[in-house]
Structure 1
Amino acid sequence: MMINFNNSKKINREQLERLYNDVEWYAYTQDLEGLRQAIEQSLEVISVWNDEELVGLIRVVGDGLTIIYIQDVLVLSSYQNQGIATQLIQQILKKYKDVRQKVLLTEEAPDVRHFYEKNGFESCDKGSLVSFAKLN
């Protein structure tokens, strides 16, 4: 297996649909053109490929100077637990190491909490931070 990382935002809709559906993020795939535009307008996108197959992706929005928001981190289920998501997170944290606010919002689950904490993130239900979100 030859895994390659790519910084191009040009990813075809079929590949995106397959990846997002695989991890059951169906809200994204109901508007594939919107998803494609969101990818293209992101501050940073790193995709992961096995040959011609899209197996993972991280997407970051923000100004890249004072704040980054990690919007999406996803890996095909058949490729999970191989360190791919960790490599994606670490590449972003290295590139934006001088940015003070590195933010993400995700669903609560023990494995999810463990993953982000092992990558240096602190849950806002601990410490002095508070977080708010308004979702439609």
Structure 2
Amino acid sequence: MLINFINRKNINIEQLEKLYNDVEWYAYTQDLNVLQNAINQSLEVISAWNGEELVGLIRIVGDGLTIIYIQDILVLNAYQNQGIATRLIQKVLHKYKSIRQKVLLTEEAPDVRHFYEKNGFESCDQGSLVAFAKLGEIR
């Protein structure tokens, strides 16, 4: 299987809805206009494609000079554990290698922790950093 990686924001909303729903990120698909606008207003979006099928995506926000924030990284369940997420994150880390702060916030799970640590991230509960978040209620 040949996966193509494309750097673009104009992705069909039905494809986005399928991807986000497949990984059960339903908060994103409650308002598809907000999702489409969030994609369009991101600093960068790299998507993974198997032919015409959207199989993965990484979305970056930030200023691109001093900080990037990996907002979303997701891969269809049927395509997980095939290195697609690793390739997506490595593309971002290579492009933004001179950026001092590369930040993300995610759920706690052993496989999630392992994935980010193997890609060079350090959990704030393990090192000298502290992290804070204030999450709004889901509509």
TM-score range, shorter chain: over 0.9
Q: Match of 1:15?
A: 15
Aligned partner of residue 57 in structure 2, secondary structure: strand
Amino acid at match of 1:56: G
Amino acid at match of 1:65: L
Aligned partner of residue 102 in structure 1, secondary structure: strand
Amino acid at match of 1:50: N
* Regions of 4+ moved over 3 Å: none
Aligned partner of residue 64 in structure 1, secondary structure: coil
Distance 1:9 1:75 in 2: 17
Q: Match of 1:68?
A: 68
Amino acid at match of 2:44: E
Report percent identity of matched pairs: 81
Aligned partner of residue 125 in structure 2, secondary structure: coil
Distance 2:10 2:76 in 1: 19
List alignment gaps of at least 5 residues for structure 1.
none
Q: Post-superposition shift, 1:63?
A: 0.4
Amino acid at match of 1:100: R
Distance 2:134 2:127 in 1: 22
Q: Post-superposition shift, 1:8?
A: 1.1
Amino acid at match of 1:130: V
**TM-score after normalising by structure 1:** 0.99
Q: Match of 2:28?
A: 28
List alignment gaps of at least 5 residues for structure 2.
none
Aligned partner of residue 28 in structure 1, secondary structure: helix
Aligned partner of residue 113 in structure 1, secondary structure: helix
* C-alpha RMSD of matched pairs (Å): 0.4
Aligned partner of residue 112 in structure 2, secondary structure: helix
Q: Match of 2:80?
A: 80
Q: Post-superposition shift, 1:2?
A: 2.1
Mapped pair 1:116 → 2:128: no
Q: Match of 2:42?
A: 42
How many residues matched? 136
Q: Match of 1:105?
A: 105
Give deviations 1:21-42, integer Å, cap 9, x for gaps.
0000000000111000100100
**TM-score after normalising by structure 2:** 0.97
